[in-house]
Amino acid sequence: MGFERIRVLKHLFGNSNTELDRGLENAESLQAQVEMRATLRAIHEHGMSDLPLTQAPYAVIDTETTGFEVQQDRLLSLAAVLFDQSASVREFHTFVKLRQGEEIPQVVRDLTGITEDALRDAPPLEHALQTFLQFIGDRVIVAHHAGHDVKFINAALRRHFAIELQQHIIDTGKVSLCVHDLKKYPSLDALLELYKIPVTERHTALGDARMTACVWARQIQLLQAHGVTTFGPLWERLYVLEKLVREQQLS
């Protein structure tokens, strides 16, 4: 099953139920079953399964990076929008100082508007991460294409502090696959158009975090219309989605 698969399950599962039990039965090894049961137990004990989606505290995050390869590319900026009771309440943004000799690829400069000059007085990565973590606290993390942001943040956290994010993580792209008849994972632009959300400061960390917060606010309404009002049913749907995707990849 693999470590990455277990991490996905840890983020998506809510509580033990029939679908989850089937997942346990289909685990590819005894060790995988042991790990999955431990994961389900830990999340159930966390007590979030019955928490209404409208009452949870969220941190909607986004990053800008020099590319897509976590081993060679770098974080350029971090942003978060704190989101309570379906309303944005506070915002955070920081650039990240490049190490000596590092440059921003021209394609990234053109896309994001970030230049080396903009980063000259920015804090080093370890300080930016500390401030970021203090700001978001233990809130549920929301992001679009969350895997990219979390991958870069976790790599940096491991490198500097030997830790990873422990919060529950919601990916608005995956949620959209649960509430819309979509054939593939949608871009943020596609969801902004679908929900008629104005596009402002696109491809900036704070701008994208703000718009993703609007997307999540709309998705909470759509989930409620589908009878999904608490985290347990949401995680169940996301788990089933993950399982279907996995089966399609193996077929």
Domain extents for the chain?
Answer: 3-49+231-250, 58-225
Distance CA 126, CA 117 (A): 20
Output the pTM of the full model: 0.81
Quick check: 141 and 165 in contact, CB under 8 A?
yes
pLDDT in tens, 116-146: 999 999 999 999 999 999 999 999 999 999 9
pLDDT in tens, 98-122: 988 889 999 999 999 999 999 999 9
In the 8-state DSSP scheme, what is residue 141?
E
Sort strands 169-171 and 140-143 into parallel, antiparallel or unpaired.
Answer: parallel
In 3D space, the residue among 2, 10, 12, 63 whose CA is nearest the CA of residue 237 turns out to be: 12
What percentage of the chain carries pLDDT values higher than 90? Answer: 63
Instruction: Say if residue 167's pLDDT is above 50.
Output: yes
Q: Which two tokens stand for residue 49?
A: 């399964």
Instruction: Say if residue 19's pLDDT is above 70.
Output: no
Q: Which CATH number fits domain 58-225: 3.40.50.150, 3.50.50.60, 3.40.950.10, 3.30.420.10?
A: 3.30.420.10
pLDDT band at 46 (very low <50, low <70, confident <90, very high): low
